Structure 1
Amino acid sequence: MLMPVLAASPCQAGEFVLPVPRVTIYPGDVIADTMLVDRSFRNQDFDGPGFVSAREQLVGKVARQTLLPNQPVSTNGVREAHVVKQGQPAVVIFQSGSLIISATAMPLQAGAIGEVISLRNTESGTTIRGVVHADGTVRVGSP
């Protein structure tokens, strides 16, 4: 079902507009644009760095906590989607100059792009740490 697109109405003095959930969004849900609606507020408690002020900061993110309809979303209430999942094998890459070594390791925690996570080397059993990349690989060693 297509929703009509409404032009944003100008805010009156002392009002500001924030994107808020249209429906209840549960922890682990990926936020879609259709789940959001713009709402104007007068309470200055919601105007500031502690709350999400643009849809782009919500769409595609994952809810960390239950987000209630028509309530402002805390910046701590959402996170980036995990690229590497705990318990699912990941490719680990070590690169030094033209030498590239890759192996499979078991992530001990999930990780989003840019996060440092711990993995267990399936061959040796040792624990290693690396940075998650957008392609789902984990880079270890010096950059």
Structure 2
Amino acid sequence: MKCSERLLALRLNLFFFVLFLFFPSLVSFAAEVLVKEEATVGGNRVFLSDVAEIKGNPLELEILRKVPISSSPQPCRSLTISKKEIAEKIVLYLKENRVSFKEIEVKGAPYVKVRRNCTVVGGERIKRLIEEFLKRNYPQLVLISVPTPSFKLPVKEFKDEVSLKSLGRNYARFVYKVYSNGELVKKVWLTAKVDRKVKVVTAKTPIPKGSLIRPDMVEFREIPSRQARGALSDLKNVVGKVANRDFLPGEVFKSRDLKPNFIVRKGKPVKVVYIRGPIHIELLGIALENGAVGNIIRVKNISTGKILRCRVEKDGSVTFLSD
């Protein structure tokens, strides 16, 4: 049978259609439309096949499933369609296309709630993607901040990625792309603030105030340069000093946080050692300055009153230096 002959055989007697709406018990139905309570759509239009189960012969199914019911709601939104509206849309569609059915029964839920497919992309995921990108490709850089907009897209599955387009001293320009079924569905340009890492000395263990800092208490760590302002990067400037405050693991050391470990105190007696070849002389002096190991301080000879220039030694004595 030719297509035109098939359509002619299916021409609707509208009398029967109206009859089933008001007197359904009087008619024996061929095609059946069962309205769902809920439906989910992905496109911009809602069709009968989205909101109802359709029963009938293959040709009836092919025609009815394409009946347009309404526009889809916005992504992540929903709308409610009544069974009456669905029946009216079927009548209108068949009439406009000059197609007739012997009988159609529309039954099921009085209303169907239609939701639009919705996937929220972006947000904090953008930040994670950029951090991973920098870690793989630019380990010397650290992300400080980046906008993290979220987008609602009418897709179920997606793949996203970031790529670097330009890099400055304190910024990086990225492109965030979202694909669905191999097609680009979203593209956003983002400017991120970045910083370069520097190596500094940090506390390895908790260090109470007043503690003498030993080598096993500290370690090197890379941190953003903005966090390293004033931080000490040489162990010589940290080990052997006394903590001026409490330190937690990971905290940096700054000059103001440390003080010298004075083993010679101003105004206190100190042993002065004089060595010249075979000559070894020890005498008593009074320190005129505080002194840590290696410091050069002034010491007064108690016997003569002469001011001596001396170097502080590990044992707490001082060695006389030449004038």
TM-score, scaled relative to structure 2: 0.32
Alignment match of 1:101 (pick from 281, 296, 299):
281
- Following superposition, the deviation at residue 128 of structure 1 comes to 1.3
Task: Give secondary structure in 2 for the equivalent of 1:93.
Answer: strand
- Following superposition, the deviation at residue 81 of structure 1 comes to 1.4
Alignment partner, residue 310 of structure 2: 130
Q: Is the 8 A contact 1:95 1:141 kept in 2?
A: no
Alignment match of 1:45 (pick from 216, 221, 226):
226
- Whole-Å separation in 2 of the counterparts to 1:109 and 1:123: 19
Alignment partner, residue 72 of structure 1: 252
Alignment partner, residue 119 of structure 1: 299
- Whole-Å separation in 1 of the counterparts to 2:237 and 2:321: 32
Q: Decide which structure has greater helix share.
A: 2
Q: 1:98 to 1:76 in 2, by over 3 A?
A: farther
- Whole-Å separation in 2 of the counterparts to 1:130 and 1:34: 31
Alignment partner, residue 19 of structure 1: 202
- Tell me the number of residue pairs that the alignment of Structure 1 and Structure 2 aligns: 128
- Whole-Å separation in 2 of the counterparts to 1:93 and 1:117: 14
Q: Decide which structure has greater strand share.
A: 2
Larger-Rg structure: 2
- Whole-Å separation in 2 of the counterparts to 1:130 and 1:56: 22
Q: Is the 8 A contact 1:82 1:110 kept in 2?
A: yes
Which deviations, in whole Å up to 9, do the C-alpha atoms of 1:87-139 show, x marking residues without a partner?
A: 22110011111011110001011111111101111122222111111121111
> AA paired with 2:282?
S
Task: Give secondary structure in 2 for the equivalent of 1:45.
Answer: helix
Q: Which moved more, 1:74-83 or 1:119-128?
A: 74-83
Structure with the larger RCO, 1 or 2 (CA within 8 Å, 6+ apart):
1
- Following superposition, the deviation at residue 77 of structure 1 comes to 3.8
Q: Does 1:30 align with 2:212?
A: yes
Taking only the aligned residue pairs, the percentage that are identical comes to 24
Unaligned runs of 5+ in 1: 1-11
Q: Is the 8 A contact 1:19 1:55 kept in 2?
A: no
TM-score, scaled relative to structure 1: 0.62
Q: Is the 8 A contact 1:19 1:54 kept in 2?
A: no
> AA paired with 1:78?
L
Q: 1:87 to 1:113 in 2, by over 3 A?
A: same
Q: C-alpha root-mean-square deviation of aligned residues, in Å?
A: 3.5
> AA paired with 1:51?
A
- Whole-Å separation in 1 of the counterparts to 2:276 and 2:214: 40
Which deviations, in whole Å up to 9, do the C-alpha atoms of 1:36-58 show, x marking residues without a partner?
A: 799874x223458x523588964
- Whole-Å separation in 1 of the counterparts to 2:297 and 2:233: 30
